[in-house]
Structure 1
Amino acid sequence: MKKSELTKLIESLGDDTEVDETISKSDLGKALASSGLTLDAFKSKMESDPNFKSFLDSEKDKHATKSLETWKTNNLQKMVDEEYKKQHPEADPKDTEIAKLKKQFENMQKESLKKDLTNKALKTMTEKKLPTDLVNFIVGQDEDSTNKNLETLEKIFNQHDEAIKTEILKNDTYKPGGQGGAEPTEEAVKGQINSLFGIKE
């Protein structure tokens, strides 16, 4: 019996299959019987000789691997293609074009809205003497959110201005009318601001 024939015989059997009858009916069984090597002796060798068992297992693994590769070659790509088609059904070219145009239109609307909101915000910020450099942080998704951001910015700057005025009055560095009722000079005001912020000239 050839090695390939023995391998094929072993591979065709399940792990829990009784091999007695199968082997005894095969050419191997007949060869064993004629050679004086009984089936029981063969089975005993499988169970007692690790090298013999390892050889049979490796042959079985080789055949299983080859069978799997053959199955992959014949079936796997087809299954992948079918699954891809399920997940990505082919759309009508008209529908695809309409979706593309719709997306472009939505983007144009967003850009137009952002431009309008930016212009309105700049106008309001200029009127209220707020720093226009912050306009990109003020413009929101819509007019309501932009207006809320403007209100928050104005509130913050008003609180900041009030804090500065309070600090100036607390330090008593500014007296309306100056000494003898004279208006404070630009230099005096500048000196007060520098003193408040710790700026050294």
Structure 2
Amino acid sequence: MDFNEVKSFIETNMDNEEIKNYIGGLTLTPDRVNSFLDTEEGKKVIQPKIDGHFSKGLESWKKNNLEKLISEEVAKRNPAETEEQKQIRELTERLNKKEADEKRQVVKNHALTHANSKKLPVDIIDYFLGDDEENTTQNLTKLEEVLNKQIAVAVEERLKGGYKPPASGNTDETEILKDQIRKSLNGSY
């Protein structure tokens, strides 16, 4: 049976109760739609549409309300400063900066004194300044140790074992001179 035959059968038997009930059962009602949507198949069909509408609504809400809510919350947590409060804050910041600069200068002067007493290069002192004099002294002591090690290595490298200490015990210049004269006179002294 093809579609045209079914169509003509329905048209001729339109008054038949069975046909009316069957066709009436094919019409959509809210109850039938809801019962379909409660099934897994119905959820697969409707969920992407629900998600799309929700996302669109959320974006619209963010666009219209979120910035305002954030601004209100920021204003509530950080109340606007009066002119007097602003001046006090600026003065406090300047005072703190000045105190920090003075402290740094005191630490730098201490570092320069320490570096000069230890004969360390003063050009690089700024790199070794600490938070206080104690830390700065520790940093400069470490620099001194490293430099001394490097100098010792460089001296050793240059000498390469060519250094000979003086003869045992005869360090008096007159004795050394006498020995040299004896040698030159072939020991006849």
TM superposition score normalised by structure 2: 0.49
TM superposition score normalised by structure 1: 0.47
Q: RCO (CA 8 Å, sep 6+): is it higher in 1 or 2?
A: 1
